[in-house]
Each structure stands twice: as structure tokens, then as C-alpha cells.
Structure 1
Amino acid sequence: MTFTQAEFDYLASRRLVRLATASPDGVLQNSPTGFSCAPETGTLDIYGRARGRDV
């Protein structure tokens, strides 16, 4: 999926996004997270306090 310029403009006006995931056993999680837009590469870079660790 590629973001349009209008979508990047909208995202750039936000401080947080929500990242939804599902674990292998089907448990859903929907968490606010920090991010930055990179229109030149067509990506969103996601970051957060404990990303990648179980807390």
C-alpha cells in the first residue's frame, strides 16, 4: 500500500497513531504510538517507549 500526499499531509498533522496487532493466539492489541512520516521513502517510522519489549 502506498500513501498519497494527502494522506501524508494528514498524518503529519497528528502526534500519535494507533498500531493494531494480533498475537499468534488471536489476542488483539490497539495501542497509541509515536511515529514520523517519511514521504520520500513512502514509509511511516514507528517508535515508542518500550517498542519490542514485553511490558
Structure 2
Amino acid sequence: LSPDLAKVCGFEQHTRPQVVKQIWVYVKANQLQDPQDGRFILCNDLLRRIFE
């Protein structure tokens, strides 16, 4: 994983499903879900670097 993604997930290597699960844990812990539609993520600086 990239260094930024490893910060979000808490590990450097894992399966894709586990990485996706940890991203959602991070999103929920940091209240980054769109209040109008919880299917969308409001990226903070760290997530923005990962997804760009």
C-alpha cells in the first residue's frame, strides 16, 4: 500500500476487501460521510491524496 493508505488502514499489506473495510472504519471514525447521502465520502486531506 502507499504510505498514505497505510496510515488510514493501519497496516502496510492486506487484501483488497480488508483495505476497503478499513477505509470505511476511518471514514466513520472521522465523520467523513456525506450527511445527505451516506454512500458518499467527504475527503479530508489524507483521503484526497489517496484518491487523486
Per the TM superposition, whether the score is higher than 0.5 is no
TM-score w.r.t. the length of structure 1 is 0.27
Give the structure with the higher percent strand: 1
Give the structure with the higher percent helix: 2
Bigger-Rg structure (1/2): 1
